[in-house]
């Protein structure tokens, strides 16, 4: 496992063992459980995080999202995904294979 300081499109992101994604029934939301923290994901973040599995690159994540949400430009999606994942990586909640 590598800690990441700056994300690039070719990186294959995953959650470190101490962060766990799951759907919470009580709140009807996707959440990430982490030490002393809970991230409640909005719809877009939830879409992104469900693709973060340590198998596919950020590039492929962007492709998949672009396929699903045709209204947004690929460029815009790519930017949003990087910003979102980078904010988690800065706190150590995104690492790479």
How many C-beta neighbours within 10 Å does residue 48 have? 22
Q: Does 51 bind another protein (CB under 8 A)?
A: no
Residue 32 or 62 having the CB closest to another protein? 32
Q: Does 41 bind another protein (CB under 8 A)?
A: yes
Distance CA 78, CA 7 (A): 12
Distance CA 42, CA 40 (A): 7
Q: Does 97 bind another protein (CB under 8 A)?
A: no
The contact mask relative to another protein for 18-37 (x = CB under 8 A, - = no) is x-x-x-x-xx---x-xxxxx
Q: Does 58 bind another protein (CB under 8 A)?
A: no
Q: Where are the alpha helices (DSSP H) in 1-97?
A: 43-51, 58-68, 74-90
Distance CA 43, CA 29 (A): 8
Residues within the interface to another protein (CB under 8 A): 3-5, 16-18, 20, 22, 24, 26-27, 31, 33-42, 45, 84, 87, 89-92
């Amino acid at each position: 496992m590598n800690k990441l300081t700056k994300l690039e499109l070719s990186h294959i992101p995953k959650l470190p063992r101490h962060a766990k994604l799951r759907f919470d029934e009580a709140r009807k939301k996707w959440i990430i459980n982490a030490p002393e923290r809970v991230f409640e994901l909005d719809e877009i973040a939830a879409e992104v995080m469900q693709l973060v599995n340590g198998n596919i690159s950020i590039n492929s994540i962007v492709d998949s999202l672009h396929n699903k949400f045709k209204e947004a430009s690929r460029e815009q999606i790519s930017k949003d995904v990087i910003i979102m994942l980078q904010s988690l990586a800065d706190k150590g909640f995104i690492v790479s294979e």
